[in-house]
Structure formats: C-alpha cells, structure tokens
Amino acid sequence: MATNHINFTEKTLAELPIPTDKRPMTYYDNGQPGLCIIVTYGGTKTYYFYTKFLGVPKRVKIGRVGVTKLVEARMKARELRTIADHGTDPGQERNEILRDMTLKQFFDTQ
C-alpha cells in the first residue's frame, strides 16, 4: 500500500484521487496522529485509526468519509490514541461487542 501524509480538510478528502490500480491508497492526517483514510479502487474512502499496540500493527475502523464527519473522526482517533496510551488494545471494545453478537445482529449493524 502506498502512503501519504497530508492535512485533512473536507475539501482535500473530497479531492483524494481514486487509485488507478487495484491497490488501496492510505493517507495519514498531519493534524491527528493515528488517523488515516484508505481509498479503494472502487472509490470507497474510510477513516481508520492506526497504531502499533505491543509491537503489533492495529487498524480500527472509524467510519466512511461523507457519513462520518472529519471532526468526529478526529475525536474518535483521539479517544483510541488515549486508550492505546493507557495500555489497552484500541480494537478490544469492538471485538468484545462482535464476539457477543448473534449472526443476525452482526449483519443488521453493517
């Protein structure tokens, strides 16, 4: 995956190019450590929080660009950064929720 560091604004996010090959592009926010966007070949743009937790890369989905506002994504990334800094796996909460769900509940939330 190719990576780029840019200042996220609503305008720059709307103008992010769609990859011409099938490899997703990752863009990292200069304004909020850990916040990134992955743009797929199909044009989907999704916010993620990325960190290394206990030396293992972790990526936690925050939401889709256009559905989740940039301000909300930054706040969530800040929360997840705090969780990781306090020694807790930032993806643990979501994993626990998914583990306790039925299959029907899982597909209803997607």
Q: What fold is seen in the domain 2-109?
A: Double Stranded RNA Binding Domain (3.30.160)
Q: Are 66 and 6 in contact (CB under 8 A)?
A: no
Confidence (pLDDT) at 83? 87
DSSP 8-class letter at 19: P
> What is the model's pTM?
0.79
pLDDT of 74 reads: 95
Query: Can you give the residue ranges of every domain in the chain?
Result: 2-109
- Dist. CA 110–CA 12, nearest whole Å: 27
pLDDT tens, residue by residue, 77-107 = 999 988 888 888 777 765 554 455 566 666 6
Q: Say what the pLDDT of residue 35 is.
A: 96
Q: How many CB atoms lie within 10 A of CB 89?
A: 16
Summarize pLDDT for 43-77 with one digit per residue, the tens: 999 999 998 888 888 899 999 999 999 999 999 99
